[in-house]
């Protein structure tokens, strides 16, 4: 894939430094529609920094990012339309109901037959206050908010961390469905099941993204290598 391709994403030599400290030095990868790209590594390795850059929250020190033909670092208004982002912390207002949260994000487009309410099993939660939800319910609601504009790329930072198996399955099923329908998932995870969902894996090591097979990546995570 080159920078003139309009289908998919191309990340090239993305770097990030804070003063003299280099966090990311040369992150490069590409992904066509239908991909699930796993970005993994030990805690503190730069995954969240990279995802905040690729979602438009932070500006990089260097490099380029093309998404469906858009030069994202120079067309920053394109982030909102092309990239949905789920940070590690749920961006939800605790005193609102689930329905009120969805109305904030979807506006007039919200209706009770929205497929995502079924996909993320949210319909029965609509009247409940956010503060009454479990961690897994909040993650599912946050994912629904992240894709409110039907963005083709979804960036998920540890989507199922500390969740039970039932909640993890709902989220992993949604990830698979999103990719099967032509979307691109960028996924940071320590979960072995999610790692095995990925079509391509990159292990963050010394600020670079090293291609790696799932079983080797799992072994390295378990050994705390990076």
Assess contact for 207 and 26: CB atoms under 8 A: yes
Profile the chain (226 residues) by mean pLDDT over runs of 10 residues: 66 91 91 95 85 95 95 95 92 93 89 90 95 94 94 94 90 95 94 92 89 88 74
Q: Which residues contact 194 (CB under 8 A, 6 or more apart)?
A: 38, 159, 160, 168, 172, 175, 187
Per the DSSP assignment, residues forming a β-bridge with 208 are 26, 205
Residue given tokens 């090239």 in the structure block: 12
**pLDDT, position 146:** 94
CA angle 158, 95, 174 (to 5 degrees): 35
**pLDDT, position 126:** 95
Instruction: Return the H-helix or E-strand segment holding 208.
Output: strand 208-211
How far apart, in whole angstroms, are the C-alpha atoms of residue 169 and residue 172?
A: 5
**pLDDT, position 5:** 54
**pLDDT, position 202:** 94
**pLDDT, position 63:** 96
Residue closest to 130 by CA, chosen among 122, 164, 172, 155: 122
Q: Which residues contact 22 (CB under 8 A, 6 or more apart)?
A: 15, 16, 207
> What's the CATH code, domain 9-223?
3.40.50.300
Strands 83-86 and 70-71, by their bridges, are: unpaired
Question: For the chain, what are the domain ranges?
Answer: 9-223
How far apart, in whole angstroms, are the C-alpha atoms of residue 88 and residue 52?
A: 11
Residue closest to 92 by CA, chosen among 128, 123, 47: 128
| Assigned token pair, 35 | 């991909």
Give the gyration radius of the chain's Cα atoms: 17
Q: Which residues contact 121 (CB under 8 A, 6 or more apart)?
A: 140, 170
Alpha helices in 17-127 (DSSP H): 47-54, 78-82, 98-106, 115-119
């Amino acid at each position: 894939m080159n920078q003139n391709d309009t289908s998919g994403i191309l990340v090239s030599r993305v770097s990030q430094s804070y003063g003299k400290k280099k966090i990311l030095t040369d992150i490069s990868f590409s992904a066509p529609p239908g991909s699930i790209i796993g970005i993994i590594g030990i805690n503190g390795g730069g995954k969240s920094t990279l995802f905040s850059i690729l979602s438009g929250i932070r500006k990089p020190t260097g490099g380029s990012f093309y998404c469906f033909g858009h030069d994202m670092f120079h067309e920053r208004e394109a982030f909102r339309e092309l990239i949905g982002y789920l940070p590690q912390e749920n961006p939800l207002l605790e005193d609102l109901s689930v329905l009120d949260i969805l109305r904030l994000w979807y506006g007039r487009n919200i209706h009770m037959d929205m497929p995502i309410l079924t996909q993320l099993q949210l319909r029965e939660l609509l009247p409940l206050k956010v503060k009454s939800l479990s961690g897994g319910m909040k993650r599912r609601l946050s994912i629904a908010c992240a894709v409110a504009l039907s963005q083709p790329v979804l960036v998920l930072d540890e989507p199922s961390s500390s969740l039970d198996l039932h909640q993890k399955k709902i989220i992993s099923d949604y990830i698979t469905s999103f990719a099967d329908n032509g979307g691109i998932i960028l996924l940071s995870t320590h979960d072995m099941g999610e790692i095995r969902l990925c079509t391509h894996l990159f292990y963050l090591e010394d600020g670079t993204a090293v291609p790696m097979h799932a079983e080797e990546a799992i072994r390295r995570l378990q050994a705390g290598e990076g």
